[in-house]
């Protein structure tokens, strides 16, 4: 996807990595376990342009690494004696754009996404002297939570393209409340999204807004706050089949994390982060394409702050 809403908070560390429309990402201290069910940053390019009619296989790879965890004020989080997180995620997305069905003039797409994360977390919880740090490090590898979008709508114009719809992230991944790192989150997420792409000549500009509501983890009685994300890109086609530009995202948690009815940490543990970086895209034919992109995070609150590298491929069959 969100990541894609992932690493750990001081009360119940847990890591999770998955894809909303693609992959997952590692974070710290925002929402339960410091992660989002949606891999923010995955949907930056051509977000309003629906794929051509037919079936498509998309493969996503994401590498995320962070050595800093921020608190509510954007400073190094004093709850952590040491912190380092790394995630390598491969995600498979199967999309089908229906050939004959139309609604309100829109083309229809259905998709399902399976993330396969490998997560490594090094985390120490700070304790008063003479006690040493409480080590909560761990790793996880396996299938993450499944994303399903049964119906997306796409409208096409001469230069402006739009897409809107709804998706669900289902708690299908492996989860154990006593493990410091998990492949699944044990909670559902429902999200509405709207994206647009403008293609004036050789230029490209895209943006997508996504608002997500998180369900409750019944193993911990924890409900993560709702999340708003804006993903964007802008670039130029400098030769046939090749384009380059900038991409990024802004992420804000709009409501409090709550556990057993109370706001977590007294302030709701709300997260925020921004990111920007370059991308390079190659599409030699209508049925094949690759995008490589890099995103540098800044301004993090209640989560990790790191860097992401993405490699995304599409094949029509």
- Kindly state whether residue 9 falls inside one of the protein's structural domains: no
CA dihedral 166→26→273→297, nearest 10 degrees, is -120
- The structure tokens listed for 152 are 């997306």
Q: Which of 214, 213, 166 is nearest to 193 (CA)?
A: 166
Q: Domain limits at 224?
A: 32-316
Percent of the chain whose predicted confidence (pLDDT) is above 70: 89
Count of CB atoms situated within 10 Å of the CB of 248: 22
Phi, psi of 230 (to 5 degrees): -125, 120
Q: How confident is the model at residue 31 (pLDDT cuts 50, 70, 90)?
A: low
Q: How confident is the model at residue 17 (pLDDT cuts 50, 70, 90)?
A: very low
- Kindly state whether residue 94 falls inside one of the protein's structural domains: yes
- Kindly state whether residue 17 falls inside one of the protein's structural domains: no
Does residue 303 carry a pLDDT above 80?
A: yes
pLDDT in tens, 183-241: 999 999 999 999 999 999 999 999 999 999 999 999 999 999 999 999 999 999 999 99
Q: How confident is the model at residue 275 (pLDDT cuts 50, 70, 90)?
A: very high
| 266 exposure class (CB count in 10 Å sphere: 0-12, 13-18, 19+) | exposed
- Kindly state whether residue 7 falls inside one of the protein's structural domains: no
pLDDT mean across residues, the chain: 89
Does residue 29 carry a pLDDT above 70?
A: no
Per-residue confidence (pLDDT) for residue 26, from 0 to 100: 34
- Kindly state whether residue 18 falls inside one of the protein's structural domains: no
Total structural domains within the chain: 1
Per-residue confidence (pLDDT) for residue 22, from 0 to 100: 28
Q: How far apart are CA 60 and CA 95, in angstroms?
A: 13
- Model pTM score: 0.88
What average pLDDT does the segment 2-19 reach? 32
CA distances from 64 to 27, 58, 223, 251 (A): 9, 19, 25, 16
Q: How far apart are CA 279 and CA 232, in angstroms?
A: 11
pLDDT in tens, 79-116: 999 999 999 999 999 999 999 889 999 999 999 999 99
Per-residue confidence (pLDDT) for residue 15, from 0 to 100: 30
Q: How far apart are CA 188 and CA 172, in angstroms?
A: 9
Q: Which run of H or of E encompasses 296?
A: strand 288-301
- Kindly state whether residue 2 falls inside one of the protein's structural domains: no
- Kindly state whether residue 10 falls inside one of the protein's structural domains: no
Q: How confident is the model at residue 34 (pLDDT cuts 50, 70, 90)?
A: low
CATH number at residue 202: 2.40.128.130
């Amino acid at each position: 996807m969100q990541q894609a809403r992932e690493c750990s908070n001081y009360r119940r560390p847990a890591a999770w990595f998955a894809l909303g429309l693609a992959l997952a990402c590692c974070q710290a201290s925002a929402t339960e376990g410091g992660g989002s069910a949606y891999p923010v940053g995955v949907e930056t390019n051509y977000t309003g342009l629906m794929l051509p009619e037919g079936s498509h296989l998309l493969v996503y790879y994401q590498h995320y690494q962070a050595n800093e965890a921020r608190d509510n004020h954007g400073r190094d989080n004093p709850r952590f004696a040491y912190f380092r997180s790394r995630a390598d995620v491969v995600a498979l997305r199967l999309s089908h754009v229906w050939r004959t069905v139309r609604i309100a003039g829109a083309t229809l797409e259905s998709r399902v996404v399976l993330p396969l994360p490998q997560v490594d977390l090094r985390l120490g919880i700070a304790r008063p002297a003479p006690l040493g740090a409480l080590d909560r490090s761990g790793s996880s590898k396996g299938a993450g939570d499944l994303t399903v979008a049964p119906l997306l709508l796409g409208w096409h114009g001469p230069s402006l393209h739009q897409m809107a719809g709804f998706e669900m992230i289902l708690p299908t991944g492996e989860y154990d409340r006593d493990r410091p790192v998990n492949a699944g989150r044990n909670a559902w997420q429902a999200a509405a999204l709207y994206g647009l792409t403008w293609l004036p000549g050789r230029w490209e500009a895209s943006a997508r807004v996504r608002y997500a509501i998180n369900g409750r983890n019944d193993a911990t009685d924890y409900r993560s706050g709702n999340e708003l994300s804006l993903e964007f890109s802008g670039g130029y086609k400098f030769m046939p089949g090749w384009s380059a530009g900038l991409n990024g995202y802004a992420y804000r948690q709009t409501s409090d994390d709550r556990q057993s009815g109370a706001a977590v940490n007294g302030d709701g543990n709300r997260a925020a982060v921004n990111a920007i970086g370059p991308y390079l895209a190659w599409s030699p034919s209508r049925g094949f394409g690759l995008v490589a992109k890099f995103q540098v995070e800044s301004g993090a609150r209640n989560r990790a702050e790191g860097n992401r590298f993405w490699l995304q491929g599409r094949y029509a069959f």
